[in-house]
Structure 1
Amino acid sequence: MHDQHSPKQNHLLNALPVAEYTRLLPMLELVEMPLGEVLYESGGQLKHVYFPTSAIVSLLYVMENGSSAEIAVVGNEGILGISLFMGGNTTPSRAVTQSAGFGYRLKAQLIKEEFSRAGPVMRLLLRYTQALITQMAQTAVCNRHHTVEQQLCRWLLLSLDRLSSNKLTMTQELIANMLGVRREGVTEAAGKLQRAGLIDYSRGHITVLDRPSLEKRSCECYTVVKTEFDRLLPSLHVIAS
């Protein structure tokens, strides 16, 4: 499909066998996902799952005092709302669009019915869920043991993997909120990367200029997450034509 918006731009949907994809296609609804949109709140009832195509969504854990930290990012490789098919209808995390774009959504009951078929959709979603849990666990370790600069490198690389370009729109304040650190720490870390020629940062726009060097300055957490996704979901490397 060569349409501007196609469900196959989401790698999970693109990896489905023809029969399963054809069955789901009429039920998928294209939705715009603007920057900062809250797709679901902590403890809220989930009514849909989302398959991002060009948007990136942050999963945030929100504390009682209102502070938050990112526990995972989901883009065109994945699905939002795993609790719906994992046995629950709510989640303790908040889902917020960190990079504007589009995606497709599917009603909660429909994904439950599809998962209950115990076929290819269920197996694919379970492998994705394992990879997502790895990302969450590695993020927790990274936030505890690595520098803000290393965390920023990891975050940039994970975001780039889910975009079609090397440019991100994100203020330092938002990045600080995602990482759960002080804005001054992000300012210092971004400044180091810019002076080293790895990124260009101006007025909320980040352009990655030297990805190989960015990977070298990142901690092992990025590689661990990417390796696990590649191991569990090798079919996601097949891009829709």
Structure 2
Amino acid sequence: MPKAFSCPIGESNLIPTLSEGDRALLKPHLTPVKMDARMTLEEPGKPIERVYFLKSGVGSTVAFSNNGRRIETGLFGCEGMSGTAAVLQTGHASHETFMQVAGEGLAIESGRLQDAMEQSPPLQRHLLRYVQAMMTQTSQTALSNGQAKLEERLARWLLMCHDRISGNEMYLTHEFLSIMLGVRRAGVTVGTHLLEGKGLIRATRGRIVILDREGLEAEAQDS
């Protein structure tokens, strides 16, 4: 079964889908960047200095509590961008955002982006629609976290990550997955073993291979 979506090869989907005039407005201020795994894009409570449009790789937004617990609230790849708070004109990040899977992107100073949105209401509407899409994803993630079994949540998360990478291999540790799902590492081990036992994935140390996407979709159900 094909992945849920695809982007133009080596492109950020948000840029090519702009009008020619809006692309011209942004182009002089976009800088190509290589983005390593764990690269920090936003820090909670701090000003957003740069906004990143991903061309490849996966970014992750993580909420945290005062006692140090962390859980992923959203992820994005070549379909999206960091810095949604900058689009909303707030300027400060509410959560931590970092690269989950290394990739490449285009960076722009948040002030430059905000100036461009003031010059072009269609550009602002375009980016606000993306913010709405992320809000929908966040609400669905909250629903999944509240009602789904761990293996269903894991299947859903792997599918979302799979949508945003090339190939079927993901380099992810159990410690990292425990943060993404907000569970103990032992829970991740149980979840991966359940999915492996059904022939849906193959998990080795720090690496997961998707074997049966259709089966994973059935496992995720409505989670």
- The equivalent of 2:3 in structure 1 is none
Q: Structure 1 regions of 5+ residues with no counterpart?
A: 1-5, 222-241
User: Which one-letter code corresponds to 2:136 in the other structure?
Assistant: T
Shift of 1:120: 2.6
Residue in structure 1 matching 2:158, options 156, 159, 169 = 156
Q: Which moved more, 1:112-121 or 1:138-147?
A: 112-121
Q: SS of the residue aligned with 2:61?
A: strand
Using structure 2 for the length normalisation, give the TM-score: 0.92
1:104-140 residue CA offsets vs partner (Å, 9 max, x unmatched): 1110111101211343311211111111001111111
Counterpart CA distance in 1 for 2:136 and 2:179 is: 21
1:4-33 residue CA offsets vs partner (Å, 9 max, x unmatched): xx9961111121122221332221111121
Q: SS of the residue aligned with 2:140?
A: helix
User: Which one-letter code corresponds to 1:158 in the other structure?
Assistant: M
- The equivalent of 1:192 in structure 2 is 194
The change in CA–CA distance for 1:213 and 1:58 in structure 2 (over 3 A counts) is same
Counterpart CA distance in 2 for 1:206 and 1:166 is: 8
Residue in structure 2 matching 1:147, options 146, 149, 152 = 149
Using structure 1 for the length normalisation, give the TM-score: 0.85
Counterpart CA distance in 1 for 2:13 and 2:33 is: 17
Q: SS of the residue aligned with 1:9?
A: coil
User: Which one-letter code corresponds to 1:82 in the other structure?
Assistant: T
Counterpart CA distance in 2 for 1:188 and 1:123 is: 43
1:134 and 2:136 aligned: yes
Counterpart CA distance in 2 for 1:40 and 1:57 is: 11
Counterpart CA distance in 2 for 1:25 and 1:182 is: 44
Q: SS of the residue aligned with 1:207?
A: strand
Runs of 4+ in 1 over 2 A off after TM superposition: 117-120
- The equivalent of 1:110 in structure 2 is 112
Contact 1:8 1:14 in 2 (8 A): no
- The equivalent of 1:206 in structure 2 is 208
1:67-86 residue CA offsets vs partner (Å, 9 max, x unmatched): 21000001110110011120
Counterpart CA distance in 2 for 1:102 and 1:15 is: 18
- The equivalent of 1:80 in structure 2 is 82
Contact 2:41 2:82 in 1 (8 A): no
The count of aligned residue pairs is 216
- The equivalent of 1:226 in structure 2 is none
Contact 1:7 1:104 in 2 (8 A): no
Q: Structure 2 regions of 5+ residues with no counterpart?
A: 1-7
Contact 1:198 1:214 in 2 (8 A): yes
Shift of 1:154: 0.9
- The equivalent of 1:230 in structure 2 is none
Q: SS of the residue aligned with 2:15?
A: helix
Task: Report sequence identity in percent.
Answer: 34
Counterpart CA distance in 1 for 2:219 and 2:9 is: 35
